Structure 1
Amino acid sequence: MKRICYYIMVFLLLASMNLLEGCRDEESTLSKAVLASTGALNFEATGRLEKVITVYADADWVADVPEWVTVTPALGTGTMDVTISVTENMRGGAADNPRKTAVVFKGSTLASRAEVIIFQEGDKYRDCKEYTLAELAVLANEEVVSVPQITVTTVTTKGFIVSDGIVNILMQSSSTVSVGDKVSVKGTKLSDTYSLPYVECDEVNVNSTGGTVSYPIATDITDKVNTYTSASRAFVMVSGILNGNNITVEGANYSVSVIDAPESLGIASLNGHKVKVTGYFAGVAAPVVRLIATKVEDKGLYEIIYFADDFEWLQPWAEAGTAGQTVEMNNLDATAPQLPTPKIDGISALNALIAKGYEFLRVTPSSTNASECIYLQQNYLKFGKTGYQAGIILPKLEEDVPSGATAVLSFVWCPMRQGSGVIDPVNLIVIVTNGSNETTFDVPVAGWESGHRLEWIAAEVRLDGVTISKDTRITIRQSNWQLSTANRWFLDNIKLVKAN
């Protein structure tokens, strides 16, 4: 009896070893690299149209297929065409909610996986629940929502804000609405870069017009603009000097940018004026607090501005290029894409700057027309790399500076620090060109010691003795020009004003 048990145990052990070896052989035949010819497929709710894609592999592969999707064949060897189809997306004789899943073509490792996202159309708003603004604010992203009878409290170039008196939500829409309208909306709840909720609207219906809006008491952030933030679109107020769309607060390192403002607010006519602006907090993109304005109060002329640019309008390109903030974060590794790289609707950041009238200089020791060496940050410019120097020529003025008036050019800048701690020895100059006549003005040097933390330096250059007209060109660049060394620098907040 013992001998029989012994033979049985040996037989089972050998069988299990053979089975394990067989599994190993099967695993070893799976591909180490699997790719698919597309990453996503879209299907209608009712049609049974099949779609063919190609799976690329160097050995065997197998498909992980959800229940409402069919893949033929579901396993194969090497490069093969496969057919993908879906069941109809119907419930009770009508289209069901849209659905989404993934088909995964798998090889031998987690790295050897090709995922194809399957989308199928349906009735997005079937079974859609109606939400209050308070409920909407805490919903998960991508939740489909319906919001009835809410009041429009301000309008932007990209949509409008609605409020119940406590919660304020941005509605992203191209529909025409007015302040005081009662509207109903349908859309998808999302969160922006600043973690503030908004709705991407599919439908906006105006139920009534001409209503009055009562705004809450605004929180004055003027004295705390450097540190202010909020987890919601709080109603705030700030006082300062308006330069373009940027509000400068005396003594503050941060400024306030009025974003997506419609022409009806009249901001363009208040350049250089003292203003008080109320509106909704829209996030912090250091060193800028973003604000969606409801009202702009003119407090009188402060200075005559001939030109101003804070580059905040480059924010969409900065987001597209995931541009970082080298100066503010003292981070030498912050992302800085070359100007031609980030694009919005096919237009690069470089093309957008050129369209505004800017020109750029790029040189090396052997060239005065070097390749790209100017970069985008959030939201300012970085110039040069080792062996390359660069500069900027400002757009032409829309009007002449009056005869006898002196202009002052101001900006903030910062030299780059090398990995060793050495500060790039950048010396900036301003060149005013009228025809063949050039006048050069020096900018005070940084004078930093090795290891100095990166920070903005305020520069102010009084342009005495020169004529500045609509044909004048003003250049900001380095005096250390066409060298093989590293002379890199950053630039922001350019302004040309009448001297007091």
Structure 2
Amino acid sequence: MKFTNKIFMPALCLMVALLCGCSKEEDNVARAVLASTSSLTFSAQNPTEKIITVYSDAEWYMEEIPEWVTVTPATGSGTTEVTISVSENMRDGSIDNPREATVVFRGSTLSSRAEVKVSQDGDKYRDCKEYSVSDVVSLEDGTVVIVPGAYVSAVTTGGCIVTSASFDSNIYIETSENVEVGDEVYIMGTKESDTYKLSNIICDKVTVLSKGHEINHPQPVEITDKIDSYTSDKREYVTLRGVFLNNVITIEGAANSVSLVDVSGDYSNLNGHYVILKGYYSGTAAPVVRIVLESIQDDGVYEVIYFSENFEWLKPWAENSGAGQTVENDGTGEAPQIYTAKNAEGQLASEALLARGYGLEEIPGRAIYLQDCYLKFGKTDYQAGLTLPSIENVPEGTKLTLSFDWAPMVGGTRKFDPVKIIVSIVNGDKVTELEPIGHSFVDTVDKLEWLHADIVLEGVEITKDTRISIKSDGWGDNKETTGSSVYKRWFIDNIKLFQLNK
């Protein structure tokens, strides 16, 4: 197989031009050396040789290489095809550990050298040691491990927490193996640390040895009152009390909230309830504390929720289309139209919203955009909004509150759009339009951030036929009708219709 790259010759010419003032005595040794690839990988058995191209302005030489790697020729100049081969990676008749070497083509200086990393497959578990869960936590990242006995104490959609036989040390393992709490497992993988500097095992294989073991959890650390300051360098077993909504727990008076990591069950029946949560600390990225759920207990109703939407389900569309977070980044962020943003299966975000019963309100045309788990509305001379899906089972006479987070757009000149949000409630021919909601951001001074709106709905009945719309003001205004361009761009997230029960 031949590895070439067309960008190398122009780059080489440039390097030669820059070095043209060097002495004639050095003309026979290269001052510029480039290789057509930076890495090669070979199989452990029956490895096939590979051909690369080395470019130089004069003669290059090989630095010393291990005996299992062969490079021919060992010197050259100009444009040279180089063959690299390796011997089989075997020891005592069996495949040996993976191995690596660096092939260096060098010229006259430290900067005139090209490096090619040579890797050969192998059995990384051949000489692997066995470790306990507590041992693994303190190992260096990249260490290959075998854990011969650990116990599953909590399960997520992407893996599980395993604990030691003494239940005093915990680690998260990434695995697709179907495991249950109480399983004893045999683990083969590589120890790594996540972005929160907490230990993980990236598993190659997990084997269930036995089932039905009782997990004797230690006394959990109570973190309710210190949720804004709590942190740990390990996956500590913790507990807290707060209000549950869509896998997020809020604590009254706290800046931080708790997000459950990759929850494997459906707990929507607890929305609006106080809950007592137990689980494993999994890092903090303020204002969010991450916890892997071990158990959750209903502790009474805080509010009756009839509708809630945090748009987290739009994550696959956001990731696939590169949608950003404009509010969090003070006005900067990619915002693909919902009519072009697709998930991995090819479904449009607009189709997904319509399938969930939303109405897409736009004038004079398409102007709704996708963000990373929220929505953006409007563009110059275009206004837009959203009609909520049908909401059922609201008792007659219920005093309701509609809440949501919103923000105006801020432009490149640091001017905030003079937009107001209007909520309309339609029951047949009767339309109730509520007071506009504005903002007080100061142009060129303030930073963009979310605003929270709580709207008490009094004297309004909500039935399955009611339609609640949230749109911008200035509906239909444009440069032609007003004499100047109209900017009514805005964002929305965390919509909720509820009845307080406290």
Q: Tell me the TM-score normalized by structure 1.
A: 0.76
AA in 1 matched with 2:330: L
**1:283-337 Cα deviation digits (max 9, x unpaired):** 2233222211111111122222122233455667777888776656xx4376546
CA distance in 2, matches of 1:352, 1:104: 54
Bigger shift: residues 109-118 or 197-206: 109-118
Q: 1:191 to 1:436 in 2, by over 3 A?
A: farther
- Equivalent residue of 1:493, what SS? strand
Give the structure 1 partner of residue 26 of structure 2: 20
Deviation at 1:95, TM superposition (A): 0.7
Query: Is structure 2 residue 285 aligned with structure 1 residue 285?
Result: yes
CA distance in 1, matches of 2:62, 2:431: 70
Quick check: 2:320–2:344 contact (8 Å CA) kept in 1?
no
Deviation at 1:192, TM superposition (A): 2.1
Q: 1:247 to 1:199 in 2, by over 3 A?
A: same
Deviation at 1:112, TM superposition (A): 11
Query: Is structure 2 residue 447 aligned with structure 1 residue 447?
Result: no
AA in 2 matched with 1:18: K
Identity %: 43
Quick check: 2:128–2:145 contact (8 Å CA) kept in 1?
yes
**1:125-175 Cα deviation digits (max 9, x unpaired):** 111112232331232322211112222222222222112333210111222
The answer for unaligned runs of 5 or more in structure 1 is 1-15
- Equivalent residue of 2:25, what SS? helix
CA distance in 1, matches of 2:107, 2:456: 68
Give the structure 1 partner of residue 408 of structure 2: 415
Deviation at 1:212, TM superposition (A): 2.0
Q: 1:209 to 1:198 in 2, by over 3 A?
A: same
The answer for unaligned runs of 5 or more in structure 2 is 1-21, 479-484
Query: Is structure 2 residue 426 aligned with structure 1 residue 425?
Result: no
AA in 2 matched with 1:234: E
CA distance in 1, matches of 2:177, 2:91: 32
Give the structure 2 partner of residue 497 of structure 1: 498
AA in 1 matched with 2:284: V
CA distance in 2, matches of 1:316, 1:58: 46
Quick check: 2:331–2:409 contact (8 Å CA) kept in 1?
no
CA distance in 2, matches of 1:368, 1:108: 65
Give the structure 1 partner of residue 453 of structure 2: 459
Quick check: 1:390–1:478 contact (8 Å CA) kept in 2?
yes
AA in 1 matched with 2:196: Y
Query: Is structure 2 residue 258 aligned with structure 1 residue 256?
Result: yes
AA in 2 matched with 1:460: D
Match of 1:374 among 363, 370, 377: 370
- Equivalent residue of 1:134, what SS? helix
Bigger shift: residues 336-345 or 271-280: 336-345
Q: 1:499 to 1:302 in 2, by over 3 A?
A: closer
Quick check: 1:373–1:389 contact (8 Å CA) kept in 2?
no
AA in 1 matched with 2:370: I
Bigger shift: residues 169-178 or 465-474: 465-474
CA distance in 2, matches of 1:121, 1:384: 54
AA in 2 matched with 1:27: R
Quick check: 2:323–2:370 contact (8 Å CA) kept in 1?
no
AA in 1 matched with 2:46: G
Q: 1:61 to 1:400 in 2, by over 3 A?
A: farther
Deviation at 1:45, TM superposition (A): 0.9
- Equivalent residue of 2:303, what SS? coil
Give the structure 2 partner of residue 308 of structure 1: 308
Bigger shift: residues 483-492 or 304-313: 483-492
Alignment map for 1:38-437 (pairs within 5 Å): 42-51=41-50, 67=66, 68-70=68-70, 84-100=84-100, 118-164=118-164, 165-263=167-265, 267-312=267-312, 327=327, 331-332=329-330, 335-336=333-334, 338=336, 350=349, 354=353, 357=356, 367-370=364-367, 373-376=369-372, 380-383=374-377, 390-397=384-391, 399-405=392-398, 407-418=400-411, 420-432=413-425
CA distance in 2, matches of 1:63, 1:477: 70
AA in 2 matched with 1:279: G
Query: Is structure 2 residue 470 aligned with structure 1 residue 476?
Result: yes
CA distance in 1, matches of 2:113, 2:389: 51
- Equivalent residue of 1:135, what SS? helix
Deviation at 1:189, TM superposition (A): 1.3
AA in 2 matched with 1:242: F
Q: 1:351 to 1:181 in 2, by over 3 A?
A: farther
Quick check: 1:102–1:118 contact (8 Å CA) kept in 2?
yes
Quick check: 1:242–1:275 contact (8 Å CA) kept in 2?
yes
- Equivalent residue of 1:223, what SS? helix
**1:403-430 Cα deviation digits (max 9, x unpaired):** 4445432112233444554333221123
Quick check: 2:174–2:203 contact (8 Å CA) kept in 1?
yes
Quick check: 2:28–2:58 contact (8 Å CA) kept in 1?
no
Q: Tell me the TM-score normalized by structure 2.
A: 0.76
Q: 1:252 to 1:64 in 2, by over 3 A?
A: farther
Deviation at 1:257, TM superposition (A): 1.6
AA in 2 matched with 1:238: L
Tell me the number of residue pairs that the alignment of Structure 1 and Structure 2 aligns.
466
Quick check: 2:420–2:438 contact (8 Å CA) kept in 1?
yes
Deviation at 1:233, TM superposition (A): 1.4
CA distance in 2, matches of 1:87, 1:409: 70
CA distance in 1, matches of 2:105, 2:351: 42
Deviation at 1:102, TM superposition (A): 6.0
